Structure 1
Amino acid sequence: MASPPVTELTDRAREIFRLVVEDYLSSGQPVGSKSLALRRDINLSPASIRSVLSDLERLGLLAAPHTSAGRMPTEVGLRLFVDGMMQAAEPTREERAAIEAQLSQPGPIEQALETTSAILSDLSGAAGMVMVPQREPRVAQMNIVPLDARRALVVLVGEDGTIENRLLDLPNGVSTSSLQQASNYITARLAGRTLGEASRAIEQEIKSGRSALDEASQDLVTRGLVTWSEDAARRKVLIVRGQANLLDENAMGDIERIRSLIDDLENKQSVAELLDSARVADAMRIFIGAENRLFALSGSSVIAAPYRDREGRVVGVLGVIGPTRLNYARVVPMVDFTARSLGKRIG
C-alpha cells in the first residue's frame, strides 16, 4: 500500500501524525489520545484527537495493536514520515569527535572495520554492520602452481604484500612448462596494474593474435584470471556487531520477531546482498519492514550508506539493522557521518 503524499494531510492531521510517530519511536509504545491531549502544543480535546487518529488509521498510516490501545505507525506511515516529515538530528560535536578518534587509531584496516561496526551498534542501540571493501589491489605477481594432475593453485601477490589463493581445475594433459609460461606471461603484464586493468589488456592481446603463447598456455591464462576475478566479485564479507542490543525490554514481548531477525543476521550472504544495493544506488538506502522480503517476518529496518576511498570510489557499505521503531532522525545522519569518516581511513 502506497502512502498518501504529505500535502494531502491537513495541518492538524500532519502535526498529530508527527507527534504519534516521534513518541512511538522514542518509547516503543502505542500513543493514546489522552497523552496527546496533555501536550501543551496541541489545543484539542481528546475527542477531536481521536477523530484525527481514526482518519489517519483509515489512510493506513496508523494502527491500533489492541482495541483499547493507542495508535502506532504502520510501515507505510513510517515511510511517509522518513521521506517527507523527519527532522534529521545531526550527530553532536562529542559524537563526531568520538567516531573520528576511534577510526583514526593506527592499525590494519580490518581493525577499523570492526571498530566501525561496534560504533554503529553503540550509537544506534541496534546492530551495526559493515561490508568489507571489495578492493582491487595493484598486483605484483601471479603464479600458477601445480598441486596434482587436475588441480593448480593460483597465487596472487599484491604490491601491498597481501597474498591470496584460488583453486584452478586443469584440463587434461597440461604440462609444467605451460603452467610456467602462463605464470610468466601474466606476471609480466600484471605488474603495477589492478587485476581488472590487466585482464582487459591480456584479453585484447590474445584476441588480436599478438600473444606469443601456445594454445594450452592461453587457455591457462584465461582460466587463471577468470577464476580469481569471479571468486573475488562473488565474495561479500559482512561484519555484524551488537546483536544483543536487539534484545531490549520492548523486544521481550515480541520474541518470535526478534528470533526471526537473529536468523536473518545469521544468513550474512543475504543481508550483504541487500546492503550491496546501497553500493549500486550510490546513496543512502532505508528499508522499512516488509518493503524488503528478507525482513518480511522480522519486521526490521535497515539504514545503509556506501563508503568511499580517498579517490571517491564506492568500496563498501555500512549500516544498522533493528526494529522498525529505530530513531531514524538520529540514526540516518549518524550512519552517513560514520560512512564519511571511515572513507577517510580507507586508503
Structure 2
Amino acid sequence: MGWLGDLWKTVRGAEAEDLIFAPNLPMKGLDASKPIVRDSCYVELVVESLRLERARVFATKFHGIVYSFVKLSRQGEESAVVAAVSKPPKLAELDPNSIGKVITVHKSMMGAVPWRGGDLGLELGLFSVKAGNVLTPVVDYVSRVSQIAGVSFVGAIKPFVPLITEGMDLIAGQSRDTALEVGIDTTIKLERPGAFAIIAAKKGSIDVARLSIDPADNKLLVAGEPLKAAYCVFSIRAVDRKADYGDIPELKASYAAFRAAILKGVEADAKETLAVFRRTAIFSPDLITADARQLVAAAEELMRDAFGGGAISDTGQVRGVPDTLAGLPLYQ
C-alpha cells in the first residue's frame, strides 16, 4: 500500500489539497445492519457515482479512469490483492461540457471475494487523463489488462497486478496530462457493509453530518443539495453467494479433469482426480469454506452415482453429470 499516497503531490501539483473521507453514509439498497462475519460471506467494491473537476485544466477531451488496489488479510497466508483499472464507457472521450456533471457508473472494482477477517487495505483513485496520442493508448492498454485479469478471482488476478500498477505509474508520471481528482490510501476496519465518499475539499469545509446520497442516482448531496466539488462515492458490500463460482479457473480445470475421468469409466482415475478437486476447492482463495465443502459434496455424490449404480449409458455419457463446474448444485 502507499502507491497512491506517494503520488498525490506529484499528480496534484504544488499545494496538495486536503481530502474529506466520509464513511458510513446511508444509501438506498445497501443494508448496513448485518455484520460482516469472517469466512461466512464475500465482499465487493463498487464505485457508485463521481464528479470531475480538475479536468478543467485540459480544455479539451479527456478520459475518466478509476484505479483501485485492495489488500485483504489471509489467516496463515500471504495477503490477497485485487487491483483494477476501469474506463467505463461513460468516462471515455468526455468533452469540457461534461465537467461538473455527476456521472453514475455503478462499476464493480472488486467482485465477490471471500472475507477472511482482519482489515481491508484500500487505495482508490479517480483520474482525469487528457485524450491524445501520448496517454490514450496506455489507458486503453491498462484497462484491457485489468479486464483480462478480472476482478473476482484472486489467483487469476495476481500475475497481472504488476502490469496494472506499472501502467498507472506511466499514466500518473505524465503530470501535465493527468489530474488526480480524488484519491485515498487507507485501512478500513470492515465490520458492516457501507457507503463512503472521497471529496476534494479542505477538511472542515464541509459538515460531514449533512452529507447524504441521492436515492435516485447516488449523487452526493450536502444539506439536500448537489455537492459542487470533485468526489467519488463507493460502496463495500457483503453477499452470501459467489454467482461466478463456475468460472474459478483452477477449480474449473480440476472439475473438467474429474468429469473426463468419470466419462472414461476408470474408477481409480476418477478417485484420483476427485482428490485433486477436493484439495483445489478446500484451499481455493476464491471460496468461503461452506461453499467449498458443498462443491466437494456434490462431486462426491457424482462419484457415487457413476460407480455405485452403473449410470453410464450406451453412448458413453454419464447421466446427470454436469458439463461444467457451474452445473454443480452449489446454491439451491
Whether TM exceeds 0.5 here: the answer is no
Specify the structure having the higher radius of gyration (Cα): 1
User: Normalized per residue, which structure has more helix?
Assistant: 1
Could you tell me the TM-score, scaled by structure 2's length? 0.24
